[in-house]
Structure 1
Amino acid sequence: MRYFLEVAYDGTRFHGWQLQPNALTVQEVLDDCLRRVFRLTQVETVGSGRTDTGVHASQQWVHVDLPQAYYPEEIQHRLNRILPPDISVGQVLPVGPEAHTRFDATSRAYEYCITLEKNPFLVRHAYYLSRKPDVALMNEAAQVLLQLEDFTTFSKVKGDTKHYRCAITQAFWQENGPQLVFTIKANRFLRGMVRLVVGTLLDVGKGKLTVAQFRHLIERQDRSLASGAAPAQGLFLHRVEYPENYFAQQRVLFEEVLAAQVRTEEPSS
């Protein structure tokens, strides 16, 4: 039976979401807890997206197949009992056997947090800037992102991406007292893209680039023109969205599979 798990984590001590050899990842810890809780020999979780080393998630959807049906509250409770303090499971939703957290998602949104005051309680969750950048200019430049679709400039050189087109639907900065928050939403993102976008927008805000130059470097599709990536600790995978009524429809499919399973287990008369 397939379930979607809503997972949140502080990425500080992890080498990203995805399994990799000789490095601690969020997926590794979650998979290990699933094996222990449900006494499984093998688990294959699939995340809605990847996060890099040190990046956080306030909403990462993960799907997993379990050998039988469980109450969602039971799955949530049993996992949260043994997960470490920096990982938690929120909603648990039953879905059909073909549901896919990554391929079925329609959009993803990231937030990047900056603090303009030195705050020891934000060290792991915000990037500290001692001088305020020009937020109005950064917002003007951010609107350029909505007008373009090829973001080769903001892609990692050694990536395995087949194409560099992304449909960005939101990109804006907000001020909240001594904090600045950048929100960006798109159908897909290139690996490392958001931190490169933030780093380059900050150069606009610091007067190192004009808005026209920001547009030009994207249109050039040249990776060497992007500024340095903003530090990982300020970045959060904030929200992953699915089609309207997606989970209600998936619940129906789940119940159909469950009913079919019950019928096959009934003794014949």
Structure 2
Amino acid sequence: MRLKATISYDGTNFAGYQIQPNARTVQGKLENVLTKMHKGQPVRVIASGRTDQGVHAVGQVIHFDTNLEIPVENWKKALNTMLPEDIEVLHITRVADHFHARFDVKNKEYRYILLHTEKKDIFQRHYSYFIKEQLNLDAMKKASSCFLGTHDFTSFCGSNSTVRGRKGAHHHRYCCHTTG
């Protein structure tokens, strides 16, 4: 059975989402908990995307396969009981076996928060970028207009990277379309 979960996490104390050797990662914590629940049988978690060190996620989608006969409505509580406090399962549901958290993504949203004040707010230090200097709003608006439209992000990929799509097609272009 394939389960889709929506999770949130505070990335402050993580080395990112994806498993890395000798580092605390979100994927590592999720897979460790699921492996314990499956009596040592490894369980792989697939995410809709990855985050870097210190980056937070609100509503990231993951999926995993299980043969455990736990009612779907009990999975959320079971996982949240075992996960660390900086990861939370918000919702979990059964999905078709062909569902894929990465390839079936409909949209993603990224937010970058500037805290423009005279003094730092220590309670916001992990969730915003503090800037005391005067901001040039006209220049910021002009620069942000460069992000409107459709853009090709191929240059941000590895030299030989491709993504295999749902029907086996290879996608070499990574585009983003934004509107004002």
TM > 0.5 fold call = yes
Counterparts of residues 24-103 of structure 1 (less than 5 Å): 24-103=24-103
1:80-111 per-position Cα deviation (integer Å, ceiling 9, x unaligned): 11211111100101100010000011221111
CA deviation after TM superposition for structure 1 residue 69, in Å: 4.4
Identical aligned residues as a percent: 34
**Aligned counterpart, 1:168:** 177
Q: Report the Cα distance in structure 2 between the residues aligned to 1:137 and 1:166, rounded to whole angstroms.
A: 25
**1:140 Cα deviation from its structure 2 partner:** 3.1
Q: CA deviation at 1:36?
A: 1.9
Separation in structure 2 between the aligned mates of residue 133 and residue 55 of structure 1, nearest angstrom: 24
Q: Decide which structure has the larger Cα Rg and report it.
A: 1
Match of 1:143 among 142, 145, 156: 145
Distance 1:46 1:161 in 2: 18
Q: Structure 1: any 5+ residue segments left out of the alignment?
A: 172-269
Question: Where does residue 116 of structure 1 map in the other structure?
Answer: 116
Look up the equivalent residue of 2:176 and give its one-letter code: A
Partner of 1:22: 22
Q: Whose RCO is larger (CA < 8 A, sep 6+)?
A: 1
TM-aligned CA deviation for residue 39 of structure 1: 2.7
Q: Once the 2 structures are TM-superposed, how far is the Cα of residue 135 of structure 1 from its aligned partner?
A: 3.2
Q: Retained in 1: the 8 A contact 2:8–2:57? A: yes
Q: What is the aligned length?
A: 169
How far apart are 1:10 and its partner, in Å? 0.8
RMSD of the alignment, in Å? 2.2
Residue 144 of structure 2 aligns with an amino acid whose one-letter code is A
1:204 is matched with which residue? none
1:258 alignment partner in structure 2 = none
Runs of 4+ in 1 over 4 A off after TM superposition: 158-164
Distance 2:173 2:14 in 1: 27
Q: Which of 120, 125, 128 is the equivalent residue of 2:127?
A: 125
Contact 1:146 1:167 (C-alpha < 8 Å) held by counterparts? no
Which amino acid letter does the alignment assign opposite residue 22 of structure 1?
Answer: N
Structure 2 segments unaligned to the other structure (5+ residues): 163-171
In the alignment, the residues of structure 2 paired with residue 75 and residue 11 of structure 1 have an alpha-carbon distance, to the nearest angstrom, of: 23
In structure 2, give the amino acid aligned to 1:129: I
1:27 corresponds to which letter in structure 2? Q
Residue of structure 1 equivalent to 2:10 = 10
State the distance in 2 between where 1:2 and 1:74 align: 15
Alignment TM-score, normalising by the size of structure 2: 0.83
In structure 2, distance between residues paired with 1:147 and 1:169: 5
